[in-house]
Chain A
Amino acid sequence: MLYVELIAQGLIQGSIYALIALGLTLVYGLLRILHVAHAAFFTLGGYVGVVVANQTGSLAAAIVAAMIVAGLGGIVVFRLCYQPILHQPPFVPLIASIGLYIAAEELFRIVFGPSGLTYKYAFLQGEVELLGFLRFKTGELVVVFGSAAIIGVLSLLQTRTRIGVACQATVSDPQMAESFGISLSRVGDINFFVGSALAAFAGVMVSVLNNMVEPTMGSVPSYKALAIIVLGGLGSVRGTLVAALVLGVVESFGTIYLGHFLDRNAIAFAFLILVLMWRPQGLFARS
């Protein structure tokens, strides 16, 4: 019983990680940049979500608004911050990205105040019982099934539409993609939009579950998502998804069995280090 519950809790946390890490993978696959500032869109999602929800009373409106605002923000970051320095060595965009993340955190603090915002309405706080012994918050189920649905739809779009195929081709060989008329800027826009919107969805859901949005809420997810994409074998979407879920479950077991001397994040990184000692290329890297 306990195991099933721990696995379920791990999968809930894992789907949040997956939503955040997917954007990083998309950006890494396309541009070979570690987009540290990505977590700012998780936080941005939280803030847009809480503001819109408190204004309108509608969580659906909050989610849609957060995803659109963050998605557009992602495009702006790509165009203004990354695209002009893409031809530089990789550490240049990396440092730009770290700087951008710090700036974003401070911006949230200035605009929304240091102490955080809370929801005026109690969204998705009801409890649901599954299989007779598993109790979940409605919000937790929305996270799991919502992210599965979104990711499922995205993967269908990627394989079944011309734009999706164009994006895959671009990741595979950007120069040849250009030679068949695909604009790298357009593909970049799509990837940044989608990745940032997913992070924003995660941001809204986490802030709803915790009933709290803070300027720093992105920092732990930020480095954990980096760990996940390394674990998943940099650039592999499937690897990222699996690694996110695995890490969620490992953390959930770890906090029960090791929690008295290692905190949740320490467990996650101990696991990362162990795995990388055993498989430096990550769990799911292609040969």
Chain B
Amino acid sequence: MLRLERFSCGYGLFRAVSELELEVPHGTITGLIGPNGAGKSSTLMCVAGHVNLLAGSIVFDELDIGGLPATERVRRGIAIAPEGRRLFKDLSVEDNLRVGGLIHPAGRFKADRDYVLSLFPRLGERLGSLAANLSGGEQQMLSIGRALMARPKLIMIDELSLGLMPKMVDLCYDALLRLKQDGMTILLVEQNTDRVLSVADHVCVLESGHAVWSGNAADARNDPTLAAAYLGLH
């Protein structure tokens, strides 16, 4: 579904990610993991259209989308729940969801919102609250929900569990599994590797802008060198 080929991105002359090869097959959960500063967020934001693609290509549904503006990429079916969540803080929960679904006709809103609320029932109790007044976990749910309102084919989630209470992390991961059952393709960035390895089908380990390992999550779990070098930290 999404394929990055010899993908390099960065800021001005600075390359945050070099020569990355990444394949996110349809209907899977792919984990992109690695230490702070490895280039995970840059990769997602580049796929979303906000960070410069310096070389290589971004192929989505067999089309090279590297030259499209961000507004067009969401229409093609890529939505993001970015690092730091970046909700529209002075809008209500419901209006955040409304913005998520703006590319679709207004008539779709209720049904799409109800789908998101079935994944995250807690949001249903807070529809009128300002996004700024939600707890961290609720904000993450809203960020994912807002992205889902675009009815994407691929959802990219950055640092899902960062700063959340364990119980909230559980709820979010449950939702991911349900999304996968419903046919969603998920690209998940985490520093919390244990969690990713337990749900992902594939993982790619990024360090200093380079992929140092990629393959099946099951193999990653059983690879002793990998565990010692990158995953044992957690």
Across the interface, which residues of B come within 8 angstroms of A242, CB to CB?
none
CB of B82, distance to nearest CB on chain A (Å):
7
Q: Report if B227 contacts A (CB, 8 A).
A: no
A-contact bits for B56-96, CB 8 A (1 contact / 0 none): 00000000000001110111000110100010111100011
Across the interface, which residues of B come within 8 angstroms of A182, CB to CB?
71, 99, 102
| B150 with A181: CB separation less than 8 A | yes
Chain B interface residue number, banded: 20 to 34
CB of A240, distance to nearest CB on chain B (Å):
15
Across the interface, which residues of A come within 8 angstroms of B86, CB to CB?
173, 175-176
Q: Report if B100 contacts A (CB, 8 A).
A: yes
| A180 with B90: CB separation less than 8 A | no
Q: Report if A210 contacts B (CB, 8 A).
A: no
Q: Report if B49 contacts A (CB, 8 A).
A: yes
| A165 with B69: CB separation less than 8 A | no
| B98 with A179: CB separation less than 8 A | no
B-contact bits for A135-172, CB 8 A (1 contact / 0 none): 00000000000000000000000000010011011001
Do A166 and B102 form a contact, CB below 8 Å, given A175-B50, A181-B75, A181-B150? Answer: yes
Q: Report if A177 contacts B (CB, 8 A).
A: yes
Across the interface, which residues of B come within 8 angstroms of A168, CB to CB?
88, 90-91, 95
Across the interface, which residues of B come within 8 angstroms of A162, CB to CB?
98, 102, 106
Across the interface, which residues of A come within 8 angstroms of B73, CB to CB?
179
Measured in the bound complex, the distance between the Cα atoms of B69 and A178 in whole Å is 9
Give the most central of B82, B86, B88: most A CB within 10 Å: B88
| A166 with B69: CB separation less than 8 A | no
| A169 with B99: CB separation less than 8 A | yes
| A181 with B74: CB separation less than 8 A | yes
A-contact bits for B85-126, CB 8 A (1 contact / 0 none): 010111100011011101100100000000000000000000
CB of B192, distance to nearest CB on chain A (Å):
24
Closest residue of chain B to A159, judged by CB? B95
Closest residue of chain B to A163, judged by CB? B102
CB of A92, distance to nearest CB on chain B (Å):
19
Measured in the bound complex, the distance between the Cα atoms of B88 and A184 in whole Å is 15
Which residues from 116 to 162 on chain B have a C-beta closer than 8 Å to any C-beta of chain A? 146, 150
Taking a contact as CB atoms closer than 8 A, the residue among B74, B88, B106 that contacts A173 in the complex is B88
Give the most central of A168, A172, A176: most B CB within 10 Å: A176
Measured in the bound complex, the distance between the Cα atoms of B75 and A29 in whole Å is 27
| B74 with A180: CB separation less than 8 A | yes
Across the interface, which residues of B come within 8 angstroms of A178, CB to CB?
49-50, 69-71
Closest residue of chain A to B94, judged by CB? A165
Q: Report if A58 contacts B (CB, 8 A).
A: no
Q: Report if B217 contacts A (CB, 8 A).
A: no
Q: Report if A183 contacts B (CB, 8 A).
A: yes
Which residues from 261 to 287 on chain A have a C-beta closer than 8 Å to any C-beta of chain B? none
Taking a contact as CB atoms closer than 8 A, the residue among A165, A166, A179, A183 that contacts B48 in the complex is A179
Do A172 and B88 form a contact, CB below 8 Å, given A166-B99, A180-B99, A182-B102? Answer: yes
Across the interface, which residues of B come within 8 angstroms of A175, CB to CB?
50, 70, 86
B-contact bits for A95-120, CB 8 A (1 contact / 0 none): 00000000000000000000000000
Across the interface, which residues of A come within 8 angstroms of B79, CB to CB?
179-180
Closest residue of chain A to B50, judged by CB? A175
Taking a contact as CB atoms closer than 8 A, the residue among A165, A166, A180, A183 that contacts B150 in the complex is A180
| B99 with A177: CB separation less than 8 A | yes
Across the interface, which residues of B come within 8 angstroms of A179, CB to CB?
48-50, 70-71, 73-74, 79-80, 82
| A180 with B49: CB separation less than 8 A | no
CB of B187, distance to nearest CB on chain A (Å):
15
CB of A271, distance to nearest CB on chain B (Å):
28
20 additional A-B residue pairs with CB within 8 Å, beyond A162-B98, A177-B99: A165-B98, A166-B102, A168-B88, A168-B90, A169-B88, A172-B90, A175-B70, A175-B86, A176-B86, A178-B69, A178-B71, A179-B49, A179-B70, A179-B74, A179-B79, A179-B80, A180-B79, A180-B102, A181-B102, A183-B71
Closest 5 CB pairs of A and B: A181-B103, A172-B88, A178-B70, A169-B99, A169-B88
Could you give 7 example pairs across A and B, Cβ below 8 Å?
A168-B91, A169-B88, A176-B86, A176-B88, A179-B70, A179-B74, A180-B100
Q: Which residues of A contact B (CB under 8 A)?
A: 162, 165-166, 168-169, 172-173, 175-183
